[in-house]
């Protein structure tokens, strides 16, 4: 096992950690740890109290009646009609060896269709439409080959030639929007020819872990994401 066993966030807490605490998204032991340290971080305590007050205020408000303007409804129906006649555009698959590139591409025509459906379902829509080839799955969602998972586990649990900074690993998780997760293993490796590191966090099932693979310089504001997978022993 690497010298990194369990890493919990410490004060001052990042806003993302407090938001996850308020939303109930943290593991029970991590949430208990954060709550026990809140008295040491008045700013974080104030953020949590503000979130709780906002939630309580919103829960007390009646749901507004939202009416889709007739002009928007007519334009949406016209767009859907054109999309149905045009059919789906062909998609392009990314090369398998391109770890940091897109793993899945969607045609612009179906993005527009999704936006139109959103108008009917929600009444109000905020959408971002991107040109073909620009919308990709998150890098943290890249597929990890079965043969690679054994290497990830070996790197995370094996002896390390150089120590890993637990605080930097915690900042790396935050940069990848994995804030608040406990680190149960970490290590360096070469991932598909790229100098990388792997960080293991609990997956919620005994013997299974979420493995995050990043570049070795991953830190606050620099996620360096390469891939992620659920691995098991």
- Residues 45-56: tens digit of each pLDDT: 887 887 777 677
C-alpha R_g of the chain = 22
Query: Domain residues of the chain, as ranges?
Result: 70-139
Pair 187, 161: CB distance under 8 Å:
no
Roughly what angle, to the nearest 10 degrees, separates helices 70-86 and 108-122?
A: 150
* Residue-level pLDDT at 135: 23
Predicted local confidence at residue 202, as pLDDT: 86
Output the pTM of the full model.
0.42
pLDDT exceeds cutoff 80 at 10: yes
Give me the pLDDT at residue 173, please: 92
Q: What is the pLDDT of residue 125?
A: 33
Averaged pLDDT, 25-44: 88
Q: Compare 16 and 126 and report the one with higher pLDDT.
A: 16
Mean of the pLDDT values across residues 99-118? Answer: 43
pLDDT of the residue at 216: 93
Distances (CA, A) of 47 to 20, 116, 134, 208: 12, 36, 35, 33
């Amino acid at each position: 096992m690497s010298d990194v066993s369990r890493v919990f966030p410490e004060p001052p807490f990042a806003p993302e950690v407090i938001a996850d605490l308020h939303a109930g998204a943290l593991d029970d032991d991590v949430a208990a740890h954060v709550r026990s340290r809140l008295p040491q971080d008045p700013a974080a305590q104030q953020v949590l109290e503000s979130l709780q007050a906002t939630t309580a205020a919103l829960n007390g408000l009646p749901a507004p009646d939202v009416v889709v303007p007739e002009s928007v409804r007519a334009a949406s129906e016209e767009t859907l009609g054109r999309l149905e006649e045009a059919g789906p555009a062909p998609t392009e698959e990314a090369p398998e060896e391109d770890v940091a590139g897109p793993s899945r591409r969607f045609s612009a025509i179906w993005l527009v269709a999704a936006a139109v459906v959103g108008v009917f379902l929600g009444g109000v829509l905020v959408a971002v439409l991107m040109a073909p080839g620009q919308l990709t799955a998150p890098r943290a969602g890249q597929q990890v080959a079965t043969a690679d998972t054994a290497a990830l586990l070996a790197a995370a649990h094996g002896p390390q030639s150089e120590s890993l900074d637990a605080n930097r690993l915690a900042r790396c998780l935050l940069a990848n929007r994995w804030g608040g997760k406990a680190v149960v293993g970490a290590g360096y490796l070469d991932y598909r020819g790229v100098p990388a590191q792997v960080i293991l966090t609990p997956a919620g099932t005994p013997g299974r872990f979420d493995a995050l693979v990043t570049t070795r310089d991953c830190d606050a504001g620099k996620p360096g994401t390469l891939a992620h997978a659920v691995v098991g022993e």
